[in-house]
């Protein structure tokens, strides 16, 4: 049984709820896994269990405004890399070279 293991959020949503965690509920009388989104607005960080080491990938909003960045992302996304996670990893790899060149960081 496969399960959804990714969530997407806009920059505004992530800024409003910086401390969030996705949990998978047990499979029960359905062909889907239920998800619970936990977030804390006031109480500090939520402890993440079994989280892989490494930096979380964030798509920079300004990349959509820059012609070169947009072209790079669109070309990478259109390559058949399998599942959505593969597409995201492909964009992540290609945009690593853009990050130092494009001064677009979250505040």
Give the model confidence (pLDDT) of 35-86 as tens digits: 777 776 554 554 555 555 556 677 777 777 778 878 887 888 787 766 777 7
**Is residue 106 one of the residues assigned to a domain?**
no
Nearest to 63 by CA among 29, 98, 14: 98
**Is residue 107 one of the residues assigned to a domain?**
no
**27 in the same domain as 43:** yes
What single DSSP character describes residue 61?
Answer: G
**Is residue 91 one of the residues assigned to a domain?**
yes
Lowest mean pLDDT, pick from 15-24, 63-72, 94-103: 94-103
pTM for this one? 0.40
Q: How many structural domains are present in the chain?
A: 2
Containing structural domain, residue 43:
1-51
**23 in the same domain as 5:** yes
**45 in the same domain as 8:** yes
**59 in the same domain as 46:** no
């Amino acid at each position: 049984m496969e399960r959804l293991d990714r969530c997407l959020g806009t920059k505004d949503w992530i800024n409003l709820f910086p401390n969030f965690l996705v949990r998978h509920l047990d499979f029960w009388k359905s062909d889907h896994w239920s998800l619970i989104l936990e977030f804390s607005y006031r109480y500090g960080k939520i402890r993440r269990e079994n989280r892989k080491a490494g930096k979380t990938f964030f798509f920079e909003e300004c990349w959509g405004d820059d012609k070169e960045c947009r072209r790079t992302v669109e070309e990478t996304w259109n390559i058949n890399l399998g599942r959505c996670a593969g597409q995201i990893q492909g964009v992540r790899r290609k945009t690593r070279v853009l990050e130092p060149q494009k001064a677009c960081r979250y505040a």
